[in-house]
């Protein structure tokens, strides 16, 4: 009972402390935190358009969070989710632009291309980890930059012939939803929300209900014991990274096929892949926890856009709040100690 109580209270306290610290920073900076957070809430749920945009923002956060959480659960730190997301984005868009197929074939093919591209990009650090024990963090960090510059080159010189972005994807490869648009006053909410939900179930199913999931977790906990019991350590390391990369690639596909409909040259990282680390940490690396954390982070990001418009408070305040929440999550031991002292004092 106490174990689950701590799992629930630690992230909750981290969020509360992060919001309180954000309010203090607003006060010190001469802003009204009540108006600031009020504007944020309005930007999250103020009307149907804001609600649709909030849900749309949450979609890639769920998938990026799943990518990081899956690797964490199997003893790996996939910090290359950002790069896997970028290559997945471009691969999905390329399929959406290059082929003329019926929607029933074209859309699944484009989504699959994003997942496969992310998997192949994650295969590289997984293979190097398995065969040569090169730490996946070092390789995946470098591959983030490789993905950024390689995709920029392909967009400008191969796919779009010296343009700064590709053509728009064919309608048959689009995740756009006229139904959601009509319900949310023409927000960019798309059918990818269901793909994200399906992926949440897939992660839970693999890790909790399959032999493969048991082996992946076992290798993450203790490679020597797993090898002694007959499990293939190298195969499971690679498989873990490949599955994690597939989730990341799907996050990129959601942006390319749903939100934007094209891939453009990027001056820097999207940030979604790195925020996925925070989503996984706050969600306790569990499937349902990732969903709840993605709702929080997606809501904060979507609501932040409205803060400077309504109150003049810089949206970067929200980035500070998110950073503080991550800090307090990392300080969960101290938070648990406070909870224990509070419970003892209440007796």
Range name among 14-18, 45-49, 298-302 with the lowest pLDDT average? 14-18
Confidence of residue 1 (pLDDT cuts 50, 70, 90): very low
pLDDT on residue 6: 61
- Above pLDDT 70, what percent of the chain? 93
What is the phi-psi region of residue 21: left when phi exceeds 0, alpha when psi lies from -120 to 50, beta otherwise?
Answer: alpha
Judge whether residue 289 has pLDDT over 50: yes
pTM of model > 0.75: yes
Which contacts qualify for 311-320: CB closer than 8 Å, 24 or more apart?
311/31, 311/32, 311/35, 311/36, 311/39, 312/31, 313/26, 313/31, 313/35, 313/36, 313/39, 317/22, 317/25, 317/26, 317/29, 317/31, 317/36, 318/22, 318/40, 320/22, 320/25
pLDDT on residue 303: 93
The pLDDT mean for the chain works out to 92
Residue position matching structure tokens 């190298």: 234
User: In angstroms, rounded to a whole number, what is the distance separating the alpha carbons of residues 308 and 243?
Assistant: 39
Write out pLDDT tens, residues 155-211: 999 998 778 999 999 999 999 999 999 999 999 999 999 999 999 999 999 999 999
pLDDT on residue 4: 59
């Amino acid at each position: 009972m106490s174990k689950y109580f701590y799992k629930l209270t630690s992230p909750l306290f981290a969020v509360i402390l992060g919001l309180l610290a954000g309010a203090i920073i607003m006060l010190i900076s001469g802003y009204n935190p009540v108006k600031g957070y009020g504007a944020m809430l309005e930007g999250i749920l103020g009307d149907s358009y804001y609600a649709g945009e909030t849900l749309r923002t949450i979609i890639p956060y769920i998938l990026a969070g799943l990518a990081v959480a899956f690797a964490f659960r199997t003893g790996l730190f996939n910090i290359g989710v950002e790069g896997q997301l970028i290559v997945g984005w471009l691969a999905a868009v390329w399929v959406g632009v290059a082929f003329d197929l019926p929607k029933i074939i074209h859309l699944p093919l484009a989504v699959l291309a994003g997942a496969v591209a992310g998997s192949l990009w994650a295969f590289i650090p997984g293979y190097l980890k398995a065969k040569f024990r090169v730490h996946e963090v070092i390789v995946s960090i470098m591959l983030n930059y490789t993905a950024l510059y390689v995709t920029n080159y392909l967009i400008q010189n191969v796919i779009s012939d010296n343009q700064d972005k590709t053509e728009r994807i064919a309608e048959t490869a689009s995740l756009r939803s006229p139904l959601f648009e009509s319900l949310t006053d023409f927000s960019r909410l798309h059918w990818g929300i269901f793909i994200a939900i399906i992926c949440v179930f897939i992660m839970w199913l693999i890790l909790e209900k399959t032999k493969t999931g048991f082996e992946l977790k076992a290798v993450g906990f203790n490679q020597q014991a797993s090898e002694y019991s007959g499990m293939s350590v190298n195969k499971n390391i690679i498989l873990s990274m490949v599955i994690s990369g597939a989730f990341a690639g799907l996050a990129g596909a959601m942006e390319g096929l749903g939100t934007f409909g094209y891939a453009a040259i990027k001056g820097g990282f999207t940030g979604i892949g790195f925020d996925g680390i925070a989503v996984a940490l706050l969600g306790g690396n569990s499937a349902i926890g990732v969903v709840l954390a993605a709702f929080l982070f997606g809501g904060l990001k979507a609501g932040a856009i409205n803060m400077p418009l309504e109150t003049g408070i810089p949206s970067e305040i929200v980035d500070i709040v998110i950073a503080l929440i991550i800090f307090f999550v990392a300080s969960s031991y101290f938070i648990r100690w406070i909870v224990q002292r509070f419970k003892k004092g209440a007796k």
